[in-house]
Structure 1
Amino acid sequence: MITQDQLKQQVAQAALDVILPQLQPESVLGVGTGSTVDRFIDLLGVHRDAFGAAVSSSERSTRRLQAAGIQVLDLNQVASLPFYVDGADEVDHQLNLIKGGGGALTREKIVASVADRFICIVDETKLVETLGRFPLPIEVIPLARESVAREMRQLGGRPELRAGFITDNGNQIIDVAGLAYGSQPAEFEALINNIPGVVTCGLFAISGAHLALVAGQAGIARLELQD
């Protein structure tokens, strides 16, 4: 039996194998946040001379990239990214995602939006038929915490403040269990994002991943959107 840690290491290597042949010395990579991405960063550091720099979605990943000898740029310095590599808390077969378990969802969504190709790396426990088992993280301006929570209850959710947690942007996170997204998660994402005081929600359905690499006991599976 392959352990979950070993699966994370395998899928991080699989992502590196996908992107490395396509990198140029001037390439700038988008890098996400989380335990699986930590393994990707460690592998990427061995090949730091194969590309120019990285853009990070969190202070945590920035520190790890710099420790690996990789230059980290501010996204405002970069016009485009060939790849953005990140994990997810849930991914379905249409490559819709729930992200934000680590609290970096807003910056993750921003960096992903600039990338030509978003590669999601997960182990098989994160692959689901229908999104919703994992509570939906919502980053909120502190003033709006309770008003957003009331809106979530109206939508059938059970909101809970992530106690003691402040995002890199200085905001709070509400984790909402019990939401049912149905067959139109993109519409649900837009609905939540339009609530006053919401910075963004952890649904990545309006713009999901282009490719998901899923590590399982039988190897690496590829889920890919066709152009």
Structure 2
Amino acid sequence: MSEAKRQVAEAAAAMVKPGMRLGLGSGSTALLYVEALGRRVASGLTLPPAIATSKATEEAARAAGIPLADMMSADAPTRLDLAVDGADEVDADLSAIKGGGACLLREKIAATIADRFVMIVDASKRVERLGRFPLPVEVVPFGWAAASAAIATGLGVTPVLRMAEGGPLVTDNGNYILDCPLEAIADARAVADLLSPIPGVVEHGLFVGLAEEVLIAGPEGVTRLTRTP
């Protein structure tokens, strides 16, 4: 599978054309993509500064020689040509759950402003219905318990505060993560619509209607799925 993941990363890197403004995803497969892209840059591919969706991706991109934009600046990119990222689950409609690495907010910003969003995953991430992977929801620390209670009431589940050594896990944005064990999501858009208005919720890990294509690494190589308009 590791070789297949490298193949899917190389296939994604091959999509990149000179001058493209890129969004660089997070996670193990996305980092392989960054490495593959770095090899193309070393061979002469010229790119404007890209967006990195996590501190880990920033470090990998710099090590690979990929220029990066400062997303905290007033002149930060507001549009991307292509964003490539991994996922924790992907269904047949190319909807996904993301956020296992606690990078969902930055990942969704990149995916939303990209003209083309492509996910790269291994075959184990394909599911018939989203929800086996607990849905991550990023919340502000102030009043996180109130947000958790509202989510519990709305979804009928008990959110779990994600922990790290010494206390709650803190995202790159200074927030907390609530993992919601939904088991099976019948209507991803309805769940997204319920979560977004809750005070304290910054973003959720449902990526619905964003991906144009998914590249899947399997025992026989790379499979491509394209979303039907």
Give the counterpart letter for 2:115 in structure 1: D
Structure 2 unaligned spans of 5+: none
Residue equivalent to 2:120: 121
TM-score by length of 2: 0.90
Could you tell me how far 1:79 is from its partner in structure 2?
3.8
Q: Is residue 2:53 matched to residue 1:60?
A: no
The one-letter amino acid paired with 2:226 is E
Residue of structure 1 equivalent to 2:215: 213
Q: Is the 8 A contact 2:9 2:120 kept in 1?
A: yes
**Aligned mate of 1:29, from 22, 46, 56:** 22
CA contact (8 A) 1:158 1:178 kept: no
Letter in 2 for 1:35: S
The equivalent of 1:51 in structure 2 is: 46
* 1:71-220 equivalence runs, <5 A: 71-75=67-71, 76-154=75-153, 155-164=155-164, 165-178=169-182, 180-182=184-186, 184-205=187-208, 207-220=209-222
Alignment of 1:2-13 (within 5 A): 3=1, 5-13=2-10
Letter in 2 for 1:12: A
CA contact (8 A) 2:82 2:118 kept: yes
If each structure's helix is expressed as a fraction of its own residues, which one has the higher value? 1
Cα deviation code 1:150-204 (max 9, x no counterpart): 123221223111113111110111111135421x211211211111100000011
Q: Does the 8 Å contact 1:148/1:198 carry over to 2?
A: yes
Q: Which runs of 5+ in 1 are unaligned?
A: none
Q: Is the 8 A contact 2:151 2:159 kept in 1?
A: yes
Q: Report percent identity of matched pairs.
A: 42
What is the deviation of 1:88? 0.1
Secondary structure (helix, strand or coil) at the match of 1:187 reads helix
SS of residue matched to 2:136: strand
Aligned letter for 1:101?
A: G
Over the aligned positions, Cα root-mean-square deviation in angstroms equals 1.4
Equivalent pair of 2:170/2:176 in contact (CA under 8 Å): yes
User: Which runs of at least 4 in structure 1 moved beyond 6 Å after TM superposition?
Assistant: none
Q: Note the alpha carbon deviations across 1:61-89, whole angstroms, 9 max, x for none.
A: 01110011111013442242111000000
Deviates more, 1:64-73 or 1:51-60: 51-60
- The 1:11/1:32 distance shift into structure 2, 3 A limit, reads same
